[in-house]
Amino acid sequence: MSKKTKGFVLWFTGLPSSGKTTISQGVCRVLRNKGLIVKHLDGDVIRRKINKDLSFSKRDRGKNLAIAADLAKSLIKQENIVIASFVSPYQDQRKRIRKKLGNFIEIFVNTPLEICQKRDIKGLYKKAHLGQIKNFTGVSGPYEPPERPEIELKTAQESVKQSVDKVIKYLLNNNYL
């Protein structure tokens, strides 16, 4: 039987290939092993399955994130823990999502651009540098780092396990678990 908890969202933001998905999947595993109900919304999956017609323009990113926020809100109302991993490069869009969802924990996966480019197994940075992808965050599109995230993960200095542990420790210390 799963434990019940008040719903909240862990919103992972950072450059493409910063480690958002890898770390968020690790957090999912830990929480599910504790018997908690966890739903994972991943930017790549949402874009591929629901919003494949959207570009990387600020307007289309806003549409993509609004749909993700609506999904997260409905899951939070059902007392789920929602883990969302989206580049979400604009501060104003993240602020709107925070306001809409309420129980929102912003996690900044702070990884230098050079490391993200080395980790890029999909070749998206290369395509962006060649002009094949317009408005790509970190190349031809901006990334506005969070001003005051609840959690900052520095993946150039922390292992995946250390980053996951840091998130779990925050949740325990702040009575989310």
**Residue 68 and residue 60 in contact, taking contact as beta carbons nearer than 8 Å:** no
On whether residue 2 sits in a domain, the answer given is no
**For residue 69, what pLDDT is reported?**
93
**Residue 24 and residue 120 in contact, taking contact as beta carbons nearer than 8 Å:** no
Q: Tell me the C-alpha distance between 122 and 151, whole Å.
A: 27
Q: Tell me the C-alpha distance between 159 and 164, whole Å.
A: 9
* DSSP-derived pairing of the beta strands 151-154 and 8-13: unpaired
**Residue 125 and residue 139 in contact, taking contact as beta carbons nearer than 8 Å:** yes
Residue 45 has pLDDT above 80, yes or no: no
Active site residue 17: no
**pTM (two decimals):** 0.90
User: pLDDT tens digits for 108-117?
Assistant: 999 999 999 9
On whether residue 66 sits in a domain, the answer given is yes
**For residue 5, what pLDDT is reported?**
61
User: pLDDT tens digits for 84-127?
Assistant: 999 999 999 999 999 999 899 999 999 999 999 999 988 999 99
On whether residue 136 sits in a domain, the answer given is yes
Apex 137 CA angle, 71 and 101, nearest 5: 25
Q: Which domain covers residue 65, as residue numbers?
A: 8-173
Report the domain count for the chain. 1
On whether residue 82 sits in a domain, the answer given is yes
Q: What is the DSSP letter of 150?
A: S
On whether residue 39 sits in a domain, the answer given is yes
Of 85, 88, 140, 159, the active-site residue reads 88
Identify the helix (H) or strand (E) that includes residue 113.
helix 113-119
Among 142, 128, 153, 137, CA closest to 19: 153
Location of structure tokens 């008040």:
6
User: Domain holding 16: CATH number?
Assistant: 3.40.50.300
**Residue 85 and residue 164 in contact, taking contact as beta carbons nearer than 8 Å:** no
On whether residue 3 sits in a domain, the answer given is no
158-163 long-range contacts (CB < 8 A, ≥24 apart) are: 160/19, 160/22, 160/23, 160/26, 161/26, 163/19, 163/23, 163/26, 163/109
Beta carbons within 10 angstroms of residue 67's beta carbon: 16
Apex 122 CA angle, 47 and 162, nearest 5: 90
User: pLDDT tens digits for 136-155?
Assistant: 899 989 999 999 999 999 99
On whether residue 1 sits in a domain, the answer given is no
On whether residue 129 sits in a domain, the answer given is yes
